[in-house]
Structure 1
Amino acid sequence: MTKILKMVLPAMLLAGLFVFLFFWNKVEIVPLIQNNTQQFEKAVVTKILQDNLQENGSRIGNQKVMVKFLTGPDKGKEVKAVSTNGSLYGATCKKGMKVITLTNKAGEVEITSVYSFDRTWIVAGFVLFLFALLILVGGKNGFKAVLGLAVTFIFIAFFLFPAIYRGINPVLAAVITVSLSTIITIYILGGYTAKSAGAILGTVSGVIIAGLCATIFSKIAHITGYNVSNIEALIFVSKYTQIQCGDLLFAGILISSLGAVMDVAFSISSAVTEIHKVDNSLGLKELFKHGMNIGRDMMGTMANTLILAFTGGTLSELVLDYAYDIPFLQLINSYAIGIEIIKGIAGSVGIILTVPLVAFFAAFLCGKKDGVKKQKKSDKEKL
């Protein structure tokens, strides 16, 4: 009966949660731009009317091509289109290439251009390749990891974004997202165990610590969420919506820290649990010590991983600063660099402090469970 409840109850809660997310995601988006005159569709290039390839191999100017719509109300229709020679828009078209087109309408006039190469199925293929690799290498645990990734994506896409858009404080929305995603993901990976409980408590604590550190560091450094590079666009959006753009920076730090903190927390909790299984005579102090030893070996590499991840995210800007030989005082006091440093340090602090927290939680839960078993055994012996 207990086993059935352990299976049915989570399934019912999960189903209820997904029903909530379905209705929660029904948000009426305020139209910020008049895009009813624009139409994006899939198409295939049927003919190159005018190429822009030069004798030296470079491309200058635009291509003029014929495209055939594969989707939309004009499916099957062929029209002339222009493909610009740009790094962000357009594509180097060849006959048979599948592209995304943008059609602008003004009355009876329609102008079609090539927006980009159609990479929809390529992106989907990479995602499926990742999932297949996880399952192939990890087997059952790999499949659980895929489910965990799906859960995280669902919470970010269907809870976090609508919550922020509805006017909920982004930091609070991020904390709820992190907590729910952590609970479900770790439950999928570890089930109803002391290992899972310790990892959940450690992960949520570590991520919240990272957010608190970011908030404290930013106040001391006089950096706010209004100092991000795209703040003008965010302020414009916030005028017509309920989005609190000033706290998006700190909410982002919470979300970006989740993966690394969860990795450390689950690994330490799992290790402590296995040690306890091998020798259940170990008490809280000894288990905590073992957990700390394991955590010390991990925290250096994981903190380094987080720093490198944030650095990689701003690499193009750092290379530009290097190429222009920006003075050190200008560089270290710029908002962009200050924000990246805060992100890296706050996340690393979260990882470091997760180690003792999850080591204690896991040791306490294992020892408590063992103590209950010993008490039951002692009661039976008395009888």
Structure 2
Amino acid sequence: MGAGHTHGPAAPSPRRTVLATLGVIVPLAVATLVALIWMWPASPEPAPQPSGGLQRLTGTIAHITLKPCPTPPPEDGVAAGEQPPPDPETCGDAKVQLTSGPHTGRHVVTGLPSGPGAQKFADGDDVLLIYAEEETLDAPPYRISDHDRTSPLWLAGAAFALAVIAFGRWRGLTALVGLAITFVLLLMFVIPAILAGQPPLLVAIVGAAGIMLSVLYLTHGFTVTTSVAIIGTLTSLALTGLLSYLAIDLVQLNGITDESSFYLDTSYRINTQGLLLASILIGTLGVLDDVTVTQSVTVAELAHANPGYTFRQLYRAAARVGRAHIASVINTIILAYAGASLPLLLLISVGDQGLGEILGTPVLAQEIVRSVVGTLGLIAAVPITTALAALTSTRNTPPAPRRSRHRRPIDDHLERHPTP
């Protein structure tokens, strides 16, 4: 190993660096806490019971009796015989044993869901049923609505938690606690606050700051390295928000691309454009913290291995790592958005439209803006975080003297071995 390498634990950060970092982190944490308390939504009122005495129950299919499918009635504009026949496995009755409600253990008989897109059921499947107190000829009291996925989801969650803890041990356990905090803030603050009428963009910023501060410190510890990653994440997130605002205004997107956003706009008067901004910020945060933590830790490790490195040397070495990381992350983002929009892409591909028309549709234009803005935010995170980390990791030691171009080898020998 060269003379510039050291071994053992990393040296503690200089007092000046710690104080400067605290001078940024403490006001940020206080502002986030105050905003969370001020904007925290009030407890929602109990939801009214569905009209008609509808109840949601669970049950297990004991036996299925298939029957011939009836001929569907002709539709307007569709010739007889051209309509797709129903799936034979969706026609018949199911005997279901109730596992919840006042009649637990009782067996009831109900028809299988049929029609386009109907799910298939088999003996032993756990199902969800809708119970109506008033029975009519057209609507039996018990109707199967969906599969009951509670047990499989709990099993998948347990397998995930065990794998994370087995591999990460204590760090894996803290990561799971951080994941729980993320879900709590999303489900109990971000979503209820937006539904309560708070500005979606402001809610996303406060929620993202709360997630970032709690999760990163819990997972990576209260260190200068983590603090630098948080500052880099916040700065990059602010830049992403600004770019998102400009891009949405430039492309003229209003955030309404499907039935869900249309319903939120018409029924709850939610600012769908602000909701789009909030979704971009929250989605970008999930990748930003990975990039910033990686850059901050990389600089710290380089500074530990080479204490004589200058700011420029640290920055250039860590930036090379960041460029390789960004190259792979960009592909990940594009593939993630493509996978989520795959049914839409297939539907558009079968239509007789040009590429310009396809890309100009609101749905694809929104995903393009989301991908481009998120990528620009990630690219900006590398130099920002790397520069901050190199600034806090550079030692206050003079650089090694440079060798003169006209210096003779004997001069170096005499300096290393002076004569008495």
Q: CA distance change for structure 1 residues 295 and 285 in 2, over 3 Å: closer, same or farther?
A: same
Equivalent AA in structure 1 for residue 113 of structure 2: T
1:41-190 alignment runs, 5 A limit:
41-51=57-67, 58-59=87-88, 62-86=91-115, 90-94=119-123, 96-106=124-134, 111-190=141-220
Check the 8 A contact 1:198/1:358 in 2, yes or no: yes
Equivalent AA in structure 2 for residue 42 of structure 1: T
Q: CA distance change for structure 1 residues 41 and 268 in 2, over 3 Å: closer, same or farther?
A: same
Query: Which residue in 2 is equivalent to 1:38?
Result: 54
1:7-26 alignment runs, 5 A limit:
24=41, 26=43
Query: Which residue in 2 is equivalent to 1:321?
Result: 348
Shift of 1:310: 1.1
Does structure 1 residue 246 correspond to structure 2 residue 263? no
Equivalent-residue separation in structure 1 for 2:252 and 2:41 (angstroms) = 36
Check the 8 A contact 1:85/1:92 in 2, yes or no: no
Query: Which residue in 2 is equivalent to 1:8?
Result: none
Which stretch shows the higher mean deviation, 254-263 or 320-329?
A: 320-329
Query: Which residue in 1 is equivalent to 2:286?
Result: 259
Equivalent AA in structure 2 for residue 362 of structure 1: A
Give the TM-score normalised by the residue count of structure 2.
0.75
Check the 8 A contact 1:307/1:348 in 2, yes or no: no
Shift of 1:230: 3.2
**From 349, 354, 368, the counterpart of 2:376:** 349
Equivalent-residue separation in structure 2 for 1:74 and 1:274 (angstroms) = 64
Q: What is the SS of the residue equivalent to 1:317?
A: helix
Check the 8 A contact 2:52/2:132 in 1, yes or no: no
Q: CA distance change for structure 1 residues 248 and 237 in 2, over 3 Å: closer, same or farther?
A: same
Q: CA distance change for structure 1 residues 53 and 145 in 2, over 3 Å: closer, same or farther?
A: farther
Equivalent-residue separation in structure 1 for 2:312 and 2:324 (angstroms) = 19
Q: CA RMSD in A?
A: 3.0
Query: Which residue in 1 is equivalent to 2:304?
Result: 277
Equivalent-residue separation in structure 2 for 1:228 and 1:85 (angstroms) = 25
Check the 8 A contact 1:44/1:98 in 2, yes or no: yes
Equivalent-residue separation in structure 1 for 2:318 and 2:207 (angstroms) = 27
Bigger radius of gyration: 2
Shift of 1:159: 1.2
Check the 8 A contact 1:198/1:362 in 2, yes or no: yes
Q: Percent identity?
A: 23
Q: What is the SS of the residue equivalent to 1:40?
A: strand
Q: What is the SS of the residue equivalent to 1:66?
A: strand
Q: What is the SS of the residue equivalent to 2:109?
A: strand
Check the 8 A contact 2:53/2:132 in 1, yes or no: yes
What 5-or-longer segments of structure 2 have no aligned partner? 1-29, 71-84, 398-420
Shift of 1:358: 0.7
Shift of 1:46: 2.4
* Residue-pair matches, total: 349
Q: CA distance change for structure 1 residues 204 and 232 in 2, over 3 Å: closer, same or farther?
A: same
Check the 8 A contact 1:52/1:61 in 2, yes or no: no
Q: What is the SS of the residue equivalent to 2:88?
A: coil
Check the 8 A contact 2:135/2:141 in 1, yes or no: no
Q: CA distance change for structure 1 residues 312 and 198 in 2, over 3 Å: closer, same or farther?
A: same
Equivalent-residue separation in structure 1 for 2:118 and 2:51 (angstroms) = 18
Query: Which residue in 2 is equivalent to 1:6?
Result: none
Equivalent-residue separation in structure 1 for 2:273 and 2:133 (angstroms) = 37
Equivalent-residue separation in structure 1 for 2:116 and 2:169 (angstroms) = 41
Shift of 1:144: 2.4
Q: CA distance change for structure 1 residues 182 and 44 in 2, over 3 Å: closer, same or farther?
A: same
Check the 8 A contact 1:175/1:254 in 2, yes or no: yes
Q: CA distance change for structure 1 residues 350 and 228 in 2, over 3 Å: closer, same or farther?
A: farther
Does structure 1 residue 339 correspond to structure 2 residue 366? yes
Which stretch shows the higher mean deviation, 139-148 or 308-317?
A: 139-148
Equivalent-residue separation in structure 2 for 1:215 and 1:257 (angstroms) = 14
Shift of 1:154: 1.4
Equivalent-residue separation in structure 2 for 1:203 and 1:312 (angstroms) = 26
Q: CA distance change for structure 1 residues 37 and 208 in 2, over 3 Å: closer, same or farther?
A: farther
1:67-116 C-alpha deviation (Å, 9 max, x unpaired):
1211122222222222213565554232x322111123347986211111
Q: What is the SS of the residue equivalent to 1:105?
A: coil
Equivalent-residue separation in structure 2 for 1:301 and 1:260 (angstroms) = 12
**Higher helix proportion (structure 1 or 2):** 1
Query: Which residue in 1 is equivalent to 2:24?
Result: none
Q: CA distance change for structure 1 residues 258 and 107 in 2, over 3 Å: closer, same or farther?
A: same
